[in-house]
Amino acid sequence: MPPLDRWCESYKGQGDGVVDLDHYPDPYIGDLRGLNGEPRLVFLGLNPGIGYDSLQGDHGTWTKRIRAAGYSRCFERSPAEDPVSWKALHKGKESAYWRNLTRFARRWLDDPHVGVDQLLNFELYPWHSKKVVGRMRPPVDLVDDFIWKPVQEVPVDEVFAFGRGWLDVCRDLDLEEIATWGPETAPVPGSTMKHWRVSLFRLPSEQVVVVSSQMGSGSPPGLERTKLLKEVAADHRS
């Protein structure tokens, strides 16, 4: 259905990266409407990962909840919001992505009590796949309409984008590039990690988009690199 057909067709993964059309797409997780409170941090991921019939299939647990409450009003449709259903499919293990995201949020906000209910996470490509294999570069007009514009309505200073694809999107949108560190230039101040790339962009709202990526990973940085990221972001905050 236009215009989402252009978004869906913008990524052609191969092997484990093949797009899964059997499970509903997941463009975002979190309280986008602010029904229960304003999100304290906003994250931008690559895609929602693998889908499961028992959760996101036509008769899945999360699908039924969405039908009953509506997508934007349903807050039990992700690994972090409903860990019981998720862990039942993963031998009791929690989602590594959401575990790392929550740890990052607690470190960034210096608050050990931050939970998923205070986070808002958008996906660059909302359809499921087991892995991201291949170039992911959706139409920038759709990313602008469905991600950037909602993001700019959330009262946060920084927006965190994890994964190399977001660097291309920010540049395609001609956002103001404040600073870049990484393989082709100087390393992030204080870091010796050669493959860590960090770029800062400014949105029209004056929010700073912090794009962080490393080879083979779309995860947020760990403890020490989070400290460095806070320092460079503070130096370029309006």
Under a CB-based contact definition with an 8 Å cutoff, are residues 118 and 155 in contact? no
**H or E element in which residue 31 lies:** none
At 2 the pLDDT is 87
Q: Could you tell me the pTM of the whole model?
A: 0.94
At 214 the pLDDT is 82
CATH of the structural domain 4-48+95-235, one choice from 2.30.30, 3.40.470, 3.30.200, 3.40.50: 3.40.470
At 87 the pLDDT is 97
Under a CB-based contact definition with an 8 Å cutoff, are residues 124 and 165 in contact? yes
Mark the ranges of the chain whose per-residue pLDDT is less than 70. 216-218, 238
Residue type, 79: P
C-alpha 167/C-alpha 184 separation (Å) is 14
**Domain map (residue ranges) of the chain:** 4-48+95-235
Helical ranges in 73-119 per DSSP H: 83-88, 96-109
Under a CB-based contact definition with an 8 Å cutoff, are residues 43 and 122 in contact? yes
At 217 the pLDDT is 65
32: nearest Cα among 113, 138, 149: 149
Could you give phi then psi for residue 160, rounded to 5 degrees? -105, 120
Helical ranges in 29-80 per DSSP H: 53-56, 61-69
At 193 the pLDDT is 86
Q: How far is CA 145 from CA 68, 135, 151, 153, in A?
A: 27, 21, 10, 12
At 145 the pLDDT is 96
